[in-house]
Amino acid sequence: MTGKSGFLTVMVIGCLLLQQPAVGEVRDVAVLNVSISVFDPGVPDDRSLHRDLQIFPRIREVEAKFLPFVLRETLVGSGEWGAVRVVTEADSAAEVEISGSIIHSDGERLEIRVRAVDATGREWFDQAFASRLVQGEDDGVADAGSGQAGLYAEIAQSLQVARDRLDDRALGRIIETSLIRYAIELAPSAFGEYLTEDENGMFSIERLPARNDPMLDRIERIRLTEYVITDNVDAKFRELHEEIASTYALWREYRLKSIEYDGQNARRAEETRSEAPRGSYEAIKNLYDNYKWGRVTAQEQDRLAIAFNNEVGPVVDEMESRIADLEGWVDAKYAEWHRLLEELFEVEAELNRGAATDS
């Protein structure tokens, strides 16, 4: 790190460290912090499969970033958790880490697979959650049953049930393991021997640093500072969510209308099926009538598709551009922040060693 900007950045981080709450203060072990990774969009590399699987790659890429934030809002609203953050990459040191992949999303039905694991490596659950959209009786679009809101509520409930199975000792161990894993990421030589991992990916604490260990105190303060910084990333996702919400609802409404037309065509073909001999006037007329009806509905679908593209095409293009900018910004900042935090840790450790030598 060189130059005035690097010095100022370290000074800012140093000031933030001094502003953090007291390290080691008592906390409710049940109020765990949660990190939600951006979802896997679930788009096959083979483009020929997209149509058959009703996959819309551009929408999926947007959903992969949009849906985790909706889940975050649900968890925050429940009041059951500590800080809940959306992150662009897996956070292996998180107290509770949530990852997900989109299995199916065609505007009518949404199915996502969600996995939750805590810092000790214990898997809380790995299961699919689904919702289906139906046309509302009045106007607009309504969710079938509990709908999408119910989907996220179900995920939140599954998390709460998994957490409530653990006693305070186990929950406290999650918090301790999370901190040690973070410390190892930052200073492996100092904390590497405190934790072991077995062949099943379960982490066990071999020993804990002393409560007044100055090195651990610095690690905790650095982590709290990183939380302050990553809250800015959360703000970026919030901005993205606000822009995407109305466009996403419009896309689902458009898809629902298209599916409705497909269903009408299938029902008409079934209801007007003719028993007349093949080649007869009645059979030919029946085929032609169904063809004509299909063409009318296809033209209406084309009209809706053109209207949809005209309405949301520019917005989706802008969103994709903003997402690319967001990813680039986050990747660059995380790399810079982590480097600065490591350097700050080394500076503080060196100062502490110097003070100990002088005394």
Q: Which of the two residues, 62 and 338, has the higher pLDDT score?
A: 62
Task: Give 306's pLDDT tier (boundaries 50, 70, 90).
Answer: low
| Mean pLDDT value across residues 298-307 | 60
For the chain, the farthest-separated pair of C-alpha atoms sits apart, in whole angstroms, at: 108
Averaged pLDDT for residues 248-257: 73
Predicted confidence (pLDDT) per residue in 34-50, tens digit: 999 999 998 877 776 65
pLDDT value of residue 46? 73
Q: What is the pLDDT of residues 19-31, one digit of tens each?
A: 444 444 567 899 9
Q: What is the pLDDT of residues 139-194, one digit of tens each?
A: 344 443 345 788 999 999 999 999 999 999 999 999 999 999 988 887 787 788 89
* Range with the poorest average pLDDT among 84-88, 184-188, 199-203, 343-347: 343-347
Poorest-pLDDT segment among 63-67, 127-131, 169-173, 192-196 = 63-67
HEC sequence for the chain: CCHHHHHHHHHHHHHHHHHCCCCCCCCCCCCCCEEEECCECCCCCCCHHHHHCCCCHHHHHHHHHHHHHHHHHHHHHHCCCCCEEEECCCCCCCCEEEEEEEEEECCCEEEEEEEEEECCCCEEEEEEEEEEEEECCCCCEEECCCHHHHHHHHHHHHHHHHHHCCCHHHHHHHHHHHHHHHHHHHCHHHHHHHEEECCCCCEEECCCCCCCCHHHHHHHHHHHHHHHHHHHHHHHHHHHHHHHHHHHHHHHHHHHHHHHHHHHHHHHHHHCCCCCCCCCHHHHHHHHHHHHHHHHHHHHHHHHHHHHHHHHHHHHHHHHHHHHHHHHHHHHHHHHHHHHHHHHHHHHHHHHHHHHHHC
Q: Is the whole model's pTM more than 0.85, yes or no?
A: no
Of the pLDDT bands very low, low, confident and very high (cuts 50, 70, 90), residue 32 is very high
What's the pLDDT at 87? 83
Instruction: State the average pLDDT over residues 107-113.
Output: 87
